[in-house]
């Protein structure tokens, strides 16, 4: 009978030469290989630490183990909550072109558009504390900054006007605290709340303050969203231009008198009640009362891409 032990040395030699000639001549660095695997395969990977992160040109010290751990947490949460983050990317294409010029006109850093993302996901939502709109403004604060809030009209849902109000708040906070990072933190905690923390803890550096859980995560959440939305492919988000949402074309109609029936008004404008409310979510009732003759601008959709089908004809009700 043939001795099988003589087979193993031959197998070992063949395996050695196979590995020698199949190994890539140019070895990828560990970080680059890690990133390549992250992008090419649907696996669960830890991420590489970004080289530089900042908010409004105020640098984040990632050399601090504490700061990196907090930053890593928010990056991972947003990277691996893919459905949520991909919607951020889609909506940003639709709404950032409205937000950005208002920030610029008020000399507010462009990075604050990401604050709106973490506040509302770029949707007109209402929080448990009744803060509303893209910028999540409380009713009392809205009135302080000139927004109209009542049963029929709530300008917290007017993107242009609420963005302007947010700009005024942030500029006031920056003037008070001398830092855009602290101004952003005060958007969450409140200016008086931040002032008390600074006085009590003797530091005006956000990263050195002992904060409640929500505020301690707040800036890191903003920076994480900024990093991902500015570098989507780096984190595995692949979107085509046609995947992104865009704002349909519309015209603006100025009114300065009461509209008793918004549904009838919509028909006269060549649209319908649903679309009128979608384009003007600040209209909170079926009418627009205007006893003071204040001027309002209503957006009327004119885009052919918004399909409006004719209603079904309602059959006549037979009399019994």
Q: What is the DSSP string of 39-81?
A: HHS----PPPPPS--EETTEE--TTSHHHHHHHHHHHHHHHH-
* pLDDT of amino acid 2: 45
Distance CA 225, CA 230 (A): 8
Predicted local confidence at residue 32, as pLDDT: 78
> What tens-digit pLDDT sequence spans the chain (320 residues)?
445 455 556 655 555 555 545 545 455 677 777 677 667 666 788 999 999 999 999 999 999 999 999 999 999 999 999 999 999 999 999 999 999 999 999 999 999 999 999 999 999 999 999 999 999 999 999 999 999 999 999 999 999 999 999 999 999 999 999 999 999 999 999 999 999 999 999 999 999 999 999 999 999 999 999 999 999 999 999 999 999 999 999 999 999 999 999 999 999 999 999 999 999 999 999 999 998 899 999 999 998 777 666 666 666 655 54
Find out whether 236 and 37 touch, Cβ atoms under 8 Å. no
Rounded CA separation 130/40 (Å): 43
**Residue-range domain boundaries for the chain:** 54-243, 250-301
Joined together, the tokens standing for residue 74 give 């928010």
Residue identified by tokens 């649209």 is 271
Report the run of H or E that residue 7 belongs to, with start and end: helix 7-22
pLDDT at 25: 47
Across-strand partners of 132? Answer: 126, 137
Backbone angles phi, psi at 9, to 5 degrees: -60, -40
* DSSP H or E stretch at residue 297: strand 296-301
pLDDT of residue 1: 46
| Helix, strand and coil in the chain, % to nearest 5 | 55, 10, 40
Structure tokens at 235: 């984190």
Cα–Cα–Cα angle for 55, 141, 113, nearest 5°?
25
CATH code of the region 54-243: 1.10.530.10
Tokens representing residue 169 in the block: 């708040």
**DSSP 3-state of 5:** helix
* Residue 155: exposure state from Cβ atoms within 10 A (0-12, 13-18, ≥19): buried
């Amino acid at each position: 009978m043939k001795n099988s032990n003589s087979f193993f040395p031959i197998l070992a030699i063949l395996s050695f030469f196979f590995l020698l000639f199949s190994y890539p001549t140019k070895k990828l660095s560990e970080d680059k290989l890690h990133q390549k695997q992250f992008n090419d395969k649907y696996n669960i990977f830890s991420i590489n630490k970004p080289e530089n992160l900042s908010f409004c040109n105020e640098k984040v010290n990632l050399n601090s183990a504490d700061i990196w751990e907090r930053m890593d947490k928010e990056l991972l949460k947003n990277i691996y909550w893919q459905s949520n983050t991909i919607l951020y990317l889609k909506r940003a294409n639709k709404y950032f072109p409205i937000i950005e010029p208002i920030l610029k006109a008020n000399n507010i850093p462009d990075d604050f558009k990401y604050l709106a993302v973490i506040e509302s996901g770029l949707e007109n939502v209402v929080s448990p504390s009744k803060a509303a709109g893209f910028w999540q403004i409380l009713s009392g604060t809205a009135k302080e900054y000139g927004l109209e809030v009542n049963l029929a009209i709530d300008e917290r849902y007017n993107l242009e006007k609420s963005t302007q109000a947010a700009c005024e708040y942030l500029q006031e906070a920056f003037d008070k605290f001398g830092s855009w990072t602290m101004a952003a933190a005060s958007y969450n905690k409140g200016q008086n709340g931040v002032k008390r923390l600074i006085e009590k803890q003797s530091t005006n550096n956000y990263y050195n303050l002992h904060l409640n859980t929500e505020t301690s995560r707040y800036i890191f959440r903003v920076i994480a969203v900024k990093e991902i939305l500015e570098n989507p492919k780096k984190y595995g988000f692949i979107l085509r231009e046609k995947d992104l949402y865009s704002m349909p074309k519309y015209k603006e109609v100025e009114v300065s008198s009461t509209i008793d029936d918004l549904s009838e008004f919509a028909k006269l404008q060549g649209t319908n009640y649903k679309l009128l409310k979608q384009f003007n979510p600040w209209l909170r009732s079926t009418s627009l009362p205007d006893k003071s003759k204040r001027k309002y601008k209503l957006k009327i959709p004119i885009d052919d891409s918004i399909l409006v089908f004719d209603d079904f004809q309602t059959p006549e009700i037979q009399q019994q």
